[in-house]
Chain A
Amino acid sequence: MWRQLSTLSLLFTLGAALAGCSSNETCDPGHPCECSGGQECYIGCEGDGCTPHCSQMNRCGAVCDDNCSSLCHDMDECSTSCGDDCDVKCHGAAACGAICGDRCHFDCHDVGRCGVRAGNQSEIVCHNFSRCDVECTGTCRVHSASPDICDPAQGCTLKCLGAAALTMCSDGSVACGGC
């Protein structure tokens, strides 16, 4: 009896040793960094040049430093918080939000609510939305498509928080500062 039990134990132990276990990945600049499936995921990435990617879940967000390129799609709620020179893309979601620094590029399409607070010299593109609300701390420009004009009556607003004045541009976009 003990011999058989020890054989079973040996088998189980050897199997466990062979199978091993794997450790969690980390999110580092220059490496793919993705969350997909489940209820929620919030990605923190320290260092410049991160590339977080969220898809197919209820809530997802990325917190990263400068030169961050985040992508988010097929979600309920998505968010990005980053430093300067960020590229934030979000589509196919109920709500996309971002808080980003200078020279931020925020592209939001096929989304219920797009909301962004961006730094100086930023560019915001909203396409096929119910609401697109933008706040700029410096100069920025907001482009809209479907509707083609960024107009509060169409759900598109821009608030200039700094010294730059709100300007209506001839191509239907709006800007803080000059067009």
Chain B
Amino acid sequence: MRQSLARFALSLAVLVICLLNSGAVHAQSTIKQPGNRTSYVFEAEPHLLAGLADPPGFGAGTGLGVGFRGTVELLKNGFIPKLNNSVGIGFGIDYLRYDGWQGPRGRCEEFATAPSGVPVCVRTSSGIGHVNYFYLPVVMQWNFWLHEKWSVFGEPGVAFFLQEGDLDFTPLVLFVGGRYHVTDRITLSMRLGYPAFSFGVSFLL
């Protein structure tokens, strides 16, 4: 977990550095103009996913998948009145398929029968293969509308996840993301964080 947080902090630092170096923040800035942005009530975002750190639960390795995030705007003017910021609540469903398991989890290749009719495994395989995850995140999305073409957000929240028939809960999911506004209502959206990165298209409806 500590390793994952360190990776997350490094990813966040990379995001901030790249945004500052892009020059986007300075030209045509809207960050000091509260409310100066496209008005919308719902953001629909289908996306591709990459899980690059071990997920919660017993999966491990790298995961790839698809998902959808829907965000409802709750506050048109967010927690900082002088800035162009807003707050929403986001709900999602994400599917990822990871390529491994934590621990030496294998499959039984041959059983023998012990007394009482109890099956006893006498030969194992080395691996069980992939593991499927479904995440159901619920997050607070805090947006900062930096520029006509760019906005960024932070998303702390929680998530339920279903892994191979087990429903479980992780008390912290955390993302930072950015949007490149292709048009007023269509953006390319990227999200860095845990448990998975995403890249998709957002429709501001």
Contacts and interface: CB of A to CB of B under 8 A. Distances in A.
Interface of A: 1, 3-5, 7-8, 10-12, 14-16, 18-27, 33-45, 61-63, 77, 79-81, 95-99, 113-117, 131-135, 157, 159
B116 interface: yes
Given A4-B149, A15-B11, A63 B118 contact: no
A135 to B, nearest CB: 5
B81 interface: no
A24 B168 CA distance: 21
B105 A44 contact: no
A95 B103 CA distance: 23
B80 interface: no
A77 B114 CA distance: 12
Given A10-B18, A99-B120, A18 B11 contact: yes
A61 B180 CA distance: 51
Nearest to B179: A8
Nearest to B196: A19
B115 A115 contact: yes
Top 6 closest pairs, chain A to chain B, by CB: A97-B118, A115-B116, A27-B104, A19-B52, A133-B115, A44-B124
Contacts of A37: 57-58, 163, 166, 168
B164 interface: yes
A4 B163 contact: no
B171 interface: no
Interface in B111-136: 112, 114-128
A59 to B, nearest CB: 8
**Chain B: interface size category:** 35 or more
Contact of B52 (A4, A20, A113): A20
B118 A77 contact: yes
Nearest to A159: B115
B87 interface: no
Given A7-B18, A14-B14, A21-B61, A96 B118 contact: yes
A11 B104 contact: no
Given A11-B15, A12-B199, A131-B116, A38 B192 contact: no
A42 B121 CA distance: 8
Nearest to A26: B104
A81 B62 CA distance: 32
B86 to A, nearest CB: 22
B31 to A, nearest CB: 17
B11 to A, nearest CB: 5
Given A16-B52, A19-B7, A98-B114, A24 B197 contact: no
B101 interface: yes
B123 to A, nearest CB: 6
Interface string B4-27: 000100110011001000101000
Nearest to A28: B104
Contacts of A26: 104
A3 B23 CA distance: 11
Contacts of A45: 104
